[in-house]
Amino acid sequence: MAGNKKRPVITENFAVNLDQIRLFLGSDGRKAFEKLLDRLIEDIIPLICQYSQSGRSLLRRPVGSIEAGQLLRQLEGLLSAGEEVREFIVDDYIILYLVRKKEAAFLSIKHHRQLSYDLNKFWTGA
C-alpha cells in the first residue's frame, strides 16, 4: 500500500544498535556488516519510507506472556494518534520503526542471533 513518502529519521538508539551489530559480527563479519549498511541505505530505508506499511504491526502481533502484553499496552499508551510501531524483517535482521504522519523513525535493529536468552546464571547457580 503506497502512501505519502515519509522522511527517514535515524534515532540514536538505531545508530548504537548498528555499532553493536558490527561488534557482534566481529572482524569475520565485516563484509556482512558492510552489506547490511549498503542494503539499509540503498533498499530498506527508501522502501520503508515509500511504503511505510510494509512491516507488520508490532502492537497487533500475538504475545505469549502477560509481561509482553503489559509492555505492549504501555507502548501503545506512548503513541500519539496516527502513530504506529512496525517491525520489518530482512535477511538476519529485525528492524523496528515508528510511522508518523510525515516521517519513519528507525528505532532499533538487531541481528536475530542477538535476541537470545542469557541462561548463564541458571546453569552456574548464581
Q: What is the rounded CA–CA span in Å between residue 82 and residue 64?
A: 26
Give the range among 1-5, 59-63, 88-92 with minimum mean pLDDT: 1-5
pLDDT digits (tens, 9 = 90+) for 54-71: 999 887 877 778 887 787
* Among the ranges given (19-23, 40-44, 58-62), the one the predictor scored with the smallest mean pLDDT: 58-62
Per-residue confidence at 118, pLDDT binned at 50, 70, 90?
low
Judge if pTM exceeds 0.95. no
Helical ranges in the chain per DSSP H: 12-25, 30-39, 45-50, 66-78, 120-124
Is residue 1, in this structure, part of any structural domain at all? Answer: no
Task: Kindly state whether residue 92 falls inside one of the protein's structural domains.
Answer: yes
CATH number at residue 109: 3.30.2310.20
Residue 11 placed within a domain: yes
The boundaries of the domain holding residue 106 are 7-124
Number of domains in the chain: 1
The pLDDT, as a whole number, for residue 124 is 59
